[in-house]
A and B are shown apart, each in its own frame.
Chain A
Amino acid sequence: MDLKDLYRDVILDHNRRPRNFGRLEPPARAAPGYNPLCGDQLVVYATLDGDRIGELRFEGSGCAISVASASLMTEAVKGKSRAEAEHLFGLVHALLTDADAATPPELGKLAALGGVREFPARVKCASLCWHTLNAALAGDPTPVSTE
């Protein structure tokens, strides 16, 4: 395990300067996510343009992995269809948990999260935003929890 593999430059950069950080007013959809173990919390805001994700933002506070993951996610799924976003989540999930998972090129910058799987205690930090995005798209107002 190497810290440099967890905290790659892309991660540090997105933690320092998170993209699409902020809120969207209704009628944009919003869902809160919470990691009770470490206190990370975020809100994901999304507008849907038919089946496509239009605007996407997040706000909240958390560790570098959770902030960078949310920031990378917003860049990756903006403009995608819901099915495409689901598919990307599947790839990210495999990247975070499956040591044998390939790193397909469609992951793009999300591949920077590849170091997380060596740190099992941190996987939830990286996946919280994706679960929260799902809840926002589904219009589910129940707070998402990692526990």
Chain B
Amino acid sequence: MSAVSAGALPLDVARLRGDFPVLGQRINGQPLAYLDNGASSQRPRAVIDAERRYAEEMHANVHRGVHTLSQRATDAFEAARERVRRFLNARSSREIVFTRGTTEAINLVAQSFVRPRVGPGDEILITWLEHHANIVPWQMACEATGAVLTVAPIDRRGELDLDAFRSLLSPRTRLVAAAHVSNALGTVLPVAEIVTAAHAQGVPVLLDGAQAVPHFKVDVEALDCDFYAFSGHKLYGPDGIGVLYGRESLLAAMPPWQGGGDMILSVSFAGTTYNRLPFKFEAGTPHISGAIGLAAAIDYVDGVGLDRIAAWERELLQYATERLERIDGLKIIGTARHKASLVSFVVDGVHPHDLGTILDQAGIAIRTGHHCAMPVMEFFGVPATARASFALYNTRAEVDRLAAAVAAARAMFR
């Protein structure tokens, strides 16, 4: 007899699907099977309602007015920040900076943390698995400062070569920036080992968590990382809102990267005093409704339970891997032992772009292309892949439809 805790109860996926209005529609005459969650996930009604309620009952600018609506908006916005803090288990809400998304969060660190403190010959170490958003900001910082970008290699499974990573950490390394989960392959990176190795040499670590937070519990204190970035729209929340977690001692020492309202305490033509954390990094009117929607998304995800979501997605990943592997001529790209619920693949004789169109005609939404990770594509010698990425609301029946449509496409192009 096994003790079944509440956390181990399987998801009632059929009921949860009802929370997502967009899933009820038909696309090209077929029920929508939305398998492009790695690009952006759908929003539950709770998120849509939170944003609407904000617009209908409390919209005003934050941190400014003495009037009631401004106070309501400020309270809700700051409550959202506190909700994010709890979600990440950060020590203080001063460590939670709202951004437009993961990309902007990484750029903030590149501009405000890296650029002022690196020079010619210094190094920024990333991995081969990075999304362009965790490559290009560092290239720009390197170009401006004379620093050098170094890249830790991966193996044929799409796993990071940890030994090579460790050997690339040098006395000149000023920052390690790594994905928590690869968006192109689904690989979960060994972030604990990465942080331990980097910190042993006194090197701070930024983790790109865009593909991690929707799939499993992230605890920045346990990870001991120095920066952590993620986006709302991949976490069942709104687009245009994201988060940079930064260790308070580091954020406090960093200059602001954009100037404007809200990020100052006082301005005169003789000089300006910057606001305290985290407002120093939030110039201008923020995406208030986005932050409130993000908090609602976090409430939703925590309400369902990330452990249960992770268990269901693991089952979907295993099922999808088995189903797709059986298709003649199909090759899965990225076979790491530890993966998030995502399958990247190519099919002999069928270009991913054609596959995307054919699947769309069957009501199935997947991503095709280079996934903003062209170095990964180059490593595997493919111009593009097809990628099915799963969320809590996906079903085994949708995986069956995916497999059937891929097999049909293969037959058509034979």
Q: Which residues of A contact B (CB under 8 A)?
A: 1, 3, 6-7, 12, 15-16, 37-41, 61-65, 119, 121-122, 125
Distance A15 CA – B368 CA, assembled complex (angstroms): 19
Distance A41 CA – B378 CA, assembled complex (angstroms): 14
A-B contact count (CB 8 A): 48
Q: How large is the interface on B (under 10, 10 to 19, 20 to 34, 35 or more residues)?
A: 10 to 19
Q: Knowing A12-B413, A39-B383, say if A64 contacts B351 (CB, 8 Å).
A: yes
Contact A3–B383 (Cβ < 8 Å): no
8 contacts between A and B (CB under 8 A): A3-B358, A38-B369, A38-B384, A41-B383, A63-B354, A64-B413, A65-B353, A121-B357
Residues of chain A with a CB closer than 8 A to B413's CB: 12, 15-16, 64
Shortest distance from the beta carbon of B359 to any chain A beta carbon, whole Å:
10
Q: List 16 additional contacts besides A12-B412, A38-B369, A119-B357; criterion CB under 8 Å.
A: A1-B361, A15-B413, A37-B369, A39-B369, A39-B384, A40-B383, A61-B383, A62-B351, A62-B353, A62-B383, A63-B351, A63-B354, A64-B351, A64-B413, A65-B354, A121-B357
**Which of B353, B369, B383 counts the most A-chain CB atoms under 10 A from its CB?**
B353
Contact A40–B412 (Cβ < 8 Å): no
Distance A65 CA – B28 CA, assembled complex (angstroms): 20
B382-396 interface (Cβ within 8 A of A): 383-384
Contact A3–B369 (Cβ < 8 Å): no
Sorted from nearest, which 9 A-B pairs have the closest CB atoms? Answer: A63-B353, A63-B351, A39-B383, A39-B384, A38-B353, A64-B354, A63-B354, A39-B370, A38-B369
Residues of chain A with a CB closer than 8 A to B357's CB: 3, 6, 119, 121-122
Distance A63 CA – B357 CA, assembled complex (angstroms): 11
Closest to A61 in B: B383
B336-384 interface (Cβ within 8 A of A): 349, 351-354, 357-358, 361, 368-370, 374, 377, 383-384
Residues of chain B with a CB closer than 8 A to A38's CB: 352-353, 368-369, 384
Residues of chain B with a CB closer than 8 A to A63's CB: 351-354
Distance A31 CA – B61 CA, assembled complex (angstroms): 53
Contact A125–B353 (Cβ < 8 Å): yes
Closest to A37 in B: B369
B146-193 interface (Cβ within 8 A of A): none
Distance A121 CA – B352 CA, assembled complex (angstroms): 14
Residues of chain B with a CB closer than 8 A to A64's CB: 351, 354, 413
Contact B377–A7 (Cβ < 8 Å): no
Contact B354–A1 (Cβ < 8 Å): no
Cβ contacts B402-414/A at 8 Å (1 or 0 each): 0000000000110
Residues of chain A with a CB closer than 8 A to B374's CB: 39
Residues of chain A with a CB closer than 8 A to B361's CB: 1, 3
**Which of A1, A38, A40 counts the most B-chain CB atoms under 10 A from its CB?**
A38
Residues of chain A with a CB closer than 8 A to B383's CB: 39-41, 61-62
Residues of chain B with a CB closer than 8 A to A121's CB: 357
Closest to A4 in B: B412
Distance A42 CA – B245 CA, assembled complex (angstroms): 43
Residues of chain B with a CB closer than 8 A to A119's CB: 357
Residues of chain B with a CB closer than 8 A to A39's CB: 369-370, 374, 377, 383-384
Contact B353–A7 (Cβ < 8 Å): no
Closest to B377 in A: A39
Residues of chain A with a CB closer than 8 A to B351's CB: 61-64
Shortest distance from the beta carbon of B369 to any chain A beta carbon, whole Å:
5
Shortest distance from the beta carbon of A22 to any chain B beta carbon, whole Å:
19
**Which of B351, B352, B368, B369 counts the most A-chain CB atoms under 10 A from its CB?**
B351
Shortest distance from the beta carbon of A116 to any chain B beta carbon, whole Å:
10
Shortest distance from the beta carbon of B153 to any chain A beta carbon, whole Å:
22
Partner of A40, one of B28, B353, B358: B353
Shortest distance from the beta carbon of B36 to any chain A beta carbon, whole Å:
14
Shortest distance from the beta carbon of A133 to any chain B beta carbon, whole Å:
21
Contact A1–B353 (Cβ < 8 Å): no
Distance A41 CA – B377 CA, assembled complex (angstroms): 14
Closest to A60 in B: B383
Cβ contacts B77-118/A at 8 Å (1 or 0 each): 000000000000000000000000000000000000000000
